[in-house]
Amino acid sequence: MKRLSLVLLLVLASGIALLAQRTIRGTITDDQGEPLIGATVLAKGTSVGSVSDIDGSYALSVPEGVTTLVFSYTGFSTQEVQLGASDVVDVSMSPDIAQLSEVVVTGYSETQRKKLVASVSTIDNKALENVPLPDVNQLIQGRAPGVFSTAASGQPGAAQNVRVRGTGSITAGRGPLYVIDGVIVQSGDFSQQATSNDILSNINPNDIDNVSILKDAAATALYGSRGSNGVILITTKRGRAGKSVISAKMQYGITQPNIGNFDLMNGQEIWDYERQVLANSGRTPEQIDAARPASLLDNDFDWVDAAFRQGQTRNLELQASGGNDKTRFFLSGGYFTQDGILIDSDFSRLSLRSNIDHTASDKLDFSLNFNTSYTENLNAVAGNRFASPLLGAFVNTPLQPAYNPATGQLYTGLEDAWTIFSGDNFLYSSPLNPVVNENLRIIAKVAANYNILKNLRFSQTANIDYVDITENVFQDPTTGDGSNTNGSITDSYTGTNTLTTQSMLKYYNSFGADHNFDAFAVFEYQKFDDRRFTANGVGLASGKLKTLNSTATPQGVTGTRTEFAFVSLLGQANYNFREKYFLTASVRNDGSSRFGANNRYATFYSIGASWALSEEAFLDNINLINNLRLRASYGTSGNAEIGNFPSQELYGFGNSYDDQPGSSPTQIANPDLTWEVSKNVNVGLDFAVLENRLSGSIEWYQRRGEDLLLNVPVSSTSGFQTALRNIGKIENKGFEVNLSATIFRSSNAKGFNWNIDANFSANRNKILELPGGEDILNGRQIWRVGEPIRAFNMQVWAGVDPANGKPLWETAEGTTSTYSQAVRKIVGNAEPDFLAGLNNTFSFAGFSLSAFFNTVQGHEIYNGSRPFVESDGQRYGQFNNIVEAGQNYWKAPGDIALRPQPKVGGNSGSNSASSRYLEDGSYIRLRNVTLGYTLPKSVLDKMRLSNVLFYVQGQNLLTITDYSGFDPEAEEDGDEFFRYPVGKSFTFGLDISF
Amino acid sequence: MKFAKYIFFVIALIAISCEDKLELQPAQSLATEESLSDVKGMLTALYGAYDMLQDLNIYGRDYIVMAELEADLVYLSLSNSNRYVQNYTFLWTPDNANITAVWNDYYTVILRCNNIINNIDKIEGDAAEKNQIKGEALAIRALSHFDLVRVFAKQYTQSNPTADLGVPVVLESKIDEPTRNTIAEVYNQITSDLEATKGLLTDKGKFRFGPDAANALLSRVYLYKGDYANAEKFASDVINTNKYAIADDIIAAFKAPGSSEEIFTLKFTASETRGSDNLGRFFNPSGYGDARVATDCISLYEPSDKRLGFIYKHTNNQMYTNKFFAQDGVDGLFSPKILRISEMYLTRAEARAKQNKFADAIADLNAIRAKRSASALAGIADADVFQTVLDERRRELAFEGHTKFDLWRNGLDMVRNQCNTGIELDAPCNLAASSNLRVYPIPTREIDVNQNMVQNSGY
């Protein structure tokens, strides 16, 4: 009952029934006198409103007691007009330069920028539209302060990792919560076979109206136990009353491979180098000639060139939107294809969307969002395997030709003449062994809204998020992978279904002219269900047979099912005094099946306030300042990404012996196990000065994660290696700056304009508490109190011993050539010191040019590819080498060399993990340049078109970095191993609106 | 207002009815109490223990391959897949992943056994069935402790067993920081677990631990312990059952599990293939083919010896073994013959030689040699019998994961006569009996989390 008291309060607090009404009419125009179509007019303090029609005219039945009308339109300052005796109210609206009345979506509701007490970054569709990348997560990189997006792979459609304000957890989920049109949806990678696939790549970025990123607790507390890593709100486009607009988008582009500073040896170079390696190992000239005869140079082969290609991107899309004051619609259909720069990898998406709103009466309105999309992803033999083109390009020595010189046929990799240990020639096998991921996603939402009273509105929504993934891994019997099994087929199916219902009551009222109040309460239920199975069969009579039915021997079938449920009650109250002092309080109670029986319900809250200093009399006279607002908030949120059944002591049943089912302990009991808590402080200052020519905000935050869930290492004599505990604390603190400047503003629309948008953020991450204060090793990194979560902890490279050419590592006292005696130290951090984005936009006479840079600075990357391709002979005969490996190595006593003497089998383990391969990962990247031209109105009118835009666009044209690997945009953990690089792309596009 | 009340009522109703929606149970797991509540659940848990023995890091591949690569009968090819390089070169560090995995895996097997042994008396059910399950769990636990102590501690016969450290004996698996027991304490637990199976076990076929397998393991343990009388006795017990016979066609016996040779075989079904990680694919040129046969091995055999059929020359002119070639036609699939009757003859021969029963020892060897088309041994000087037994043991059990231990426990130097000729990975050509490298390091991760853990000397 306690949980419901807020609802009860709201219901009881609602006002008195409606009485008599009067109808107000008028027209709404812009400052030039042009009619504004689809502007909103609202009777202040009620939900009664209307929109302007094609002539800009409106009519509104105003309830008794209403004294003010509120007019709003995107891009224009909201205007309030006192009602007088006249029933005609015409309004001329002025453009909103400081964007104070910009509508900011905050999840369960929306508000104006000026009323916001929370920290919310917004990215509008201008930054998202027409960029030739499939996943919205890729588009937000560099666009908002404190938001960092990385990916393990540059393959189109690969899963992206987004971090909002640093890494807030060690073992539980670290990615933000995704909300589309108000409903929490699934995100991440649900594939079983493909290396990675982001289900968010099913959303067409061109359907998105805006993206809001909730960062502080004042914003995320409403998402309770799921909000601590930030929330990304995606709002899709909706129709607007007025003339129907039909537009077509066409885009074509090419992508060129770009492997950065990574430069491999050619045939001659590797031949020379390896002969030297043999000589260094004491081989006789005869042995060297036998192992590396000159004849090898007759047929050397450039594997990198063969593995990469120029890819194409195509996009074709139709959008239609429009409607009247009763019904509004937005429809779109798009087909997007993108080739990967690696052979046999591509992505395609067919997406359909319809968003429909219908106002049935003053009291009742409905909406429907329906999105269906289908993606198909071809993976180049599932990523980082030796048989994949990605590794093959670097594994395969140029001395091994792809084609048999005698026959001209491709080697399969099974021949004796094929010397590469993977036993596979990717040029032969990749086309024959596709890994295909097909992904159908349907997100459908129906909402009904009823205005119970003039200021009390009830909404009921139901949402289904359905993801259906089928994957197929095929291994042709004639290829290296397929030969063991005489051909193999693996089919996987993943079906996830998330059902969400929301019941919401919203109340708003003004008490006199000074006191404005609104509040809402929501009951939400969400259930997630995930079913999977995989079947494998081997033995194919021919590689042309493609289904499980044609396999001779069934090999195994696995199936799993998992579920979770959340039952939540939440509410928010907002109060402001004369729109000068703002106060917001939020609370959410979550019950979840994931939490232990002893801790099933969690409550999170926040409180925030803001003060519009610029509205104060004492600042009225200072013309310099157009807007000045101070914001502060404190609150809690949680992280429930802890697995679905983490608290139970369990036996699992996945194993078997001699065809009999087996079971084994899989989990130690921990009934106290529960969510992680994040406590957040945020202080912000919003400003606009110099006639709004310079505006922006500065924020400082501290985000402290407590009760962190940790897999605490235990003695494996227990039969377990780790046990899960709510133990540990972590802190992220930092500041963010967002600036928008009008450098040059022309008085007429066709003149020269220059705008700069910039953002900067710096985050410092620190572990505050670990179990027993003891370090936890995390591969090449360490979790240590006082250090950031991504601290590299490894042997410290001390160069080469001039006396004998052996490697040296640091010990406590000096140096050693014995790797096992070297000590590990913290030598770097994969978390960047700061992130920044800079976008310049110029426009003149129909032309527009934008250049968007982003930079990530001050972090290290472990270049895990180098130990393979710069191994000082340890990978002799197996791998190609980078050109540098053959330079500056030790040759004779006294040499001060960069690299040890290369020998067969390596030189004293010199390529073992050490700071030798740790590099500065900082980069500056020209992420996007777009040059566009919009046809003049006079021409458009003749062509009876409403808009025509031509543009050319370049992605990643320039990268400045010292990093020696393919691509400095490494994975979040800073550990790179032959990452699929992103390419440079050039795109041409045409948008036509009818 | 009426409408508002109605909404309030609906919300309250939903809230109440949702309470039980939070009680979700996993679909592929069961609570521990539930899964071990009856005989069927216990039997399933026992299969879970066998399943863990099949892990890649122990009997699935690593434990066997490592014992061979650290000896002289095979070599690691210069061109290799970078597997077991540290084993062949003796350059491992305490964080070596394979060594760490051996430690972790066997204690996981022990957990699976302990949960059975410590709970089976609490449940209702047929006594014979319960005894059988408990007996098998005891035997698997003994095998696990034995496989741990013979790699993470000095050999019993080469140590001061009551003072030198063995491994922790874990009889109740819990999150704890146990100390290392002495080598003698570990061996005592192994023999007492195996003795405790007496009367519990009946023969359930070659793929599960039966009474003969328990005796065969006891025989091996006593041999390692230097208790030659008991080693001989238990070997004889197994031989005298007459249920097992030295295979007439040893080549055929290695093509499929279940031959007359076998006492206990860890069976891998065709569907359990690990593809390129199958044991045999480390030896087969169609797989990684990194472990190849050294001349040290080939020179052991007379030309007529059938066991030469396990060795062949590949097109690259290097020698490979096909002992683990392709069970059920699956490349490299193999069901390790963990205990087989020829080993019992060899163990008895060695025990007899140590007890100066030289003629009986030679007779045991000749029993095998007769089936292998090798000439009968005669006129061996007493002083040479022991070495003759060891040679036969190397011949018969080559590649099966015994070679290293037979050298170690007898305090013999390991000498690779084929070494660093240009086709092998560069590596030491011998390892003295006194080397610290005959004992693996305790894994770093264990030292890190267990304050009572003591590292082996030299690491």
Closest approach of chain B CAs to the CA of A554, in angstroms?
8
Residue A768 has pLDDT above 60, yes or no: yes
Does the distance separating the beta carbons of A878 and B82 come in below 8 Å?
yes
Q: How confident is the model at residue A383 (pLDDT cuts 50, 70, 90)?
A: low
Q: What is the per-residue pLDDT across A176-219, written as a single tens digit (0 to 9) for each?
A: 999 999 999 998 888 887 667 788 889 999 999 999 999 999 99
Residue A903 has pLDDT above 60, yes or no: yes
Q: What is the per-residue pLDDT across B241-291, written as a single tens digit (0 to 9) for each?
A: 999 999 999 999 999 999 999 999 999 998 898 988 999 999 999 889 999
How confident is the model over A95-115, as a mean pLDDT?
80
Q: What is the per-residue pLDDT across A326-338, written as a single tens digit (0 to 9) for each?
A: 899 999 999 999 9
Residue B10 has a pLDDT of 57
Neighbours of B241 (CB within 10 A): 14
Beta bridge partners of residue A308, listed in sequence order: A342
Of A93-97, A267-271, A333-337, which range is least confident? A93-97
* Chain A CB contacts of B9 below 8 Å: none
**For residues B115 and A395, which has the higher predicted lDDT (pLDDT)?**
B115
Q: How confident is the model at residue A409 (pLDDT cuts 50, 70, 90)?
A: very high
Q: Is A168 left (phi over 0), alpha (psi -120 to 50) or beta?
A: alpha
Q: Three-state DSSP class for B296?
A: helix
Tell me the torsion sign for CA atoms A664, A667, A668, A670.
negative
Residue A3 has pLDDT above 50, yes or no: no
Q: How confident is the model at residue B5 (pLDDT cuts 50, 70, 90)?
A: low
Instruction: Please name the residue of chain A whose CA is at the shortest distance from the CA of residue B178.
Output: A717
How confident is the model over A3-32, as a mean pLDDT?
58
- Cα A424–A427–A428 angle (5° rounding)? 65
Share of chain A above pLDDT 70, in %: 97
Q: How confident is the model at residue A969 (pLDDT cuts 50, 70, 90)?
A: confident
Q: Which of B44, B173, B330 comes nearest A661 by C-beta?
A: B44
- Return the DSSP state at A7: H
* Chain A CB contacts of B29 below 8 Å: 645, 648, 650-653, 666-667
CA-nearest of A322, A337, A128 to A250 is A337
Residue A597 has pLDDT above 60, yes or no: yes
Residue B12 has pLDDT above 70, yes or no: no
Q: Three-state DSSP class for B446?
A: helix
Residue B409 has a pLDDT of 96
B36, B55, B56, B91: which to substitute to probe chain A, counting the most A Cβ within 10 Å? B91
CA-nearest of A60, A31, A58 to A46 is A60
Residue A1 has a pLDDT of 39
Does the distance separating the beta carbons of B29 and A652 come in below 8 Å?
yes
Residue B19 has a pLDDT of 57
Residue A835 half-sphere exposure toward CB, CA atoms < 13 A: 26
Tokens 């992206």, located at residue:
A160
CA-nearest of A45, A180, A182 to A110 is A182
How confident is the model over A2-20, as a mean pLDDT?
41
Residue A17 has a pLDDT of 36
Average pLDDT, chain A: 88
Q: Which of B177, B276, B459 comes nearest A715 by C-beta?
A: B177
Residue B1 has pLDDT above 50, yes or no: no
Does the distance separating the beta carbons of A659 and B269 come in below 8 Å?
yes
Q: How confident is the model at residue A11 (pLDDT cuts 50, 70, 90)?
A: very low
Beta bridge partners of residue B293, listed in sequence order: B74
Q: What is the per-residue pLDDT across A34-74, written as a single tens digit (0 to 9) for each?
A: 788 778 888 887 777 888 877 788 888 888 778 888 888 87
Q: What is the per-residue pLDDT across A683-709, written as a single tens digit (0 to 9) for each?
A: 999 999 988 889 999 999 999 999 998
Does the distance separating the beta carbons of B51 and A655 come in below 8 Å?
yes
Share of chain B above pLDDT 90, in %: 83
How confident is the model over B414-420, as a mean pLDDT?
95
The one-letter amino acid code at A444 reads A
Of A391-400, A562-571, A828-837, which range is least confident? A391-400
Does the distance separating the beta carbons of B32 and A651 come in below 8 Å?
yes
Q: Which of A555, A593, A649 comes nearest B271 by C-beta?
A: A555
Closest approach of chain A CAs to the CA of B85, in angstroms?
9
Residue A504 has pLDDT above 80, yes or no: yes
Q: What is the per-residue pLDDT across B146-185, written as a single tens digit (0 to 9) for each?
A: 999 999 999 999 999 999 999 999 999 888 899 999 999 9
Residue A529 has pLDDT above 80, yes or no: yes
Residue A112 has a pLDDT of 86
Residue B23 has pLDDT above 80, yes or no: no
Q: Which of B30, B272, B449 comes nearest A714 by C-beta?
A: B449
Q: Give this complex's ipTM.
A: 0.90
Could you list the beta-strand ranges (E) of A324-455. Answer: 327-339, 346-359, 364-379, 435-453
Segments in B159-210 forming alpha helices (H): 183-196
Instruction: Please name the residue of chain A whose CA is at the shortest distance from the CA of residue B93.
Output: A820
- Return the DSSP state at B179: P
Of A231-245, A755-769, B24-38, which range is least confident? B24-38
Q: What is the per-residue pLDDT across A275-292, written as a single tens digit (0 to 9) for each?
A: 999 999 888 999 899 989
Instruction: Please name the residue of chain A whose CA is at the shortest distance from the CA of residue B423.
Output: A291
Residue B17 has pLDDT above 60, yes or no: no
Q: Catalogue the long-range contacts made by A846-849 (C-beta closer than 8 Å, 24 or more residues apart).
A: A846/A750, A846/A933, A846/A934, A846/A935, A846/A936, A847/A931, A847/A932, A847/A933, A848/A930, A848/A931, A848/A932, A848/A933, A848/A934, A849/A929, A849/A930, A849/A931, A849/A932
> What is the rounded CA–CA span in Å between residue A276 and residue A751?
66
Q: What is the per-residue pLDDT across B342-378, written as a single tens digit (0 to 9) for each?
A: 999 999 999 999 999 999 999 999 999 999 999 999 9
CA-nearest of B138, B267, B140, B253 to B207 is B267
Closest approach of chain A CAs to the CA of B393, in angstroms?
29
Query: Cβ(A876)–Cβ(A917) under 8 Å?
Result: no
Share of chain B above pLDDT 70, in %: 95
A657, A780, A782: which to substitute to probe chain B, counting the most B Cβ within 10 Å? A657
B38, B271, B274: which to substitute to probe chain A, counting the most A Cβ within 10 Å? B271
Q: Indicate the pTM of the whole model.
A: 0.80
Query: Cβ(A786)–Cβ(A879) under 8 Å?
Result: no
Of A892-906, B9-23, B173-187, which range is least confident? B9-23
Q: What is the per-residue pLDDT across B368-399, written as a single tens digit (0 to 9) for each?
A: 999 999 999 999 999 999 999 999 999 999 99
Tokens 């045409």, located at residue:
A990
Q: Which of B1, B28, B175 comes nearest A714 by C-beta?
A: B175
> What is the rounded CA–CA span in Å between residue A301 and residue A349?
35
How confident is the model over A814-822, as a mean pLDDT?
89
A to B CB pairs, distance under 8 Å? 256
Of A145-159, A513-527, A877-891, B312-326, which range is least confident? A145-159
Residue A18 has pLDDT above 60, yes or no: no
Residue A561 has pLDDT above 60, yes or no: yes
How confident is the model over B95-111, as a mean pLDDT?
96
